[in-house]
Amino acid sequence: MNTFDGSVQAGPFGIRVNCVTPETILTAGNRARIPAARQAALADWHPLKRPGTPQDVAAATAFLASDDATWITGVVLDVAGGAVLA
């Protein structure tokens, strides 16, 4: 099932179905596992020129769960610093 199918099935019950797809996120674990030079290269590869953070993903998720997004369903939100454009 994809987000569109899920939103069609769940929408009549007032349930919104969305998907957040983060790129490489610089979590504490990734910060420890990925060498500093590779972290810099990953940041440079992204159009926003910085790594993603857990806060970036949390903010996108919080928005989709908020009352500000009550008319949003069936979407895939790339939290990827523009990497999907590259």
Check residue 84 and give its pLDDT.
78
Q: What angle do CA 62, 68, 69 make, to 5 degrees?
A: 75
Strands (E), the chain: 19-22, 76-79
**Alpha carbons 74 and 51: distance in angstroms, whole number:** 27
What's the whole-number average pLDDT of the chain?
A: 93
Assign residue 52 a region (left: φ > 0; alpha: ψ between -120 and 50; beta: otherwise). Answer: beta
Please write the tens of the pLDDT for every residue from 23-35. Answer: 989 999 999 999 9
Please write the tens of the pLDDT for every residue from 43-56. Answer: 999 999 999 999 99
**Alpha carbons 21 and 79: distance in angstroms, whole number:** 6
Check residue 4 and give its pLDDT.
77
pLDDT at 86 over 90: no
pTM above 0.85, yes or no: yes
CATH of domain 3-85: 3.40.50.720
Check residue 56 and give its pLDDT.
98
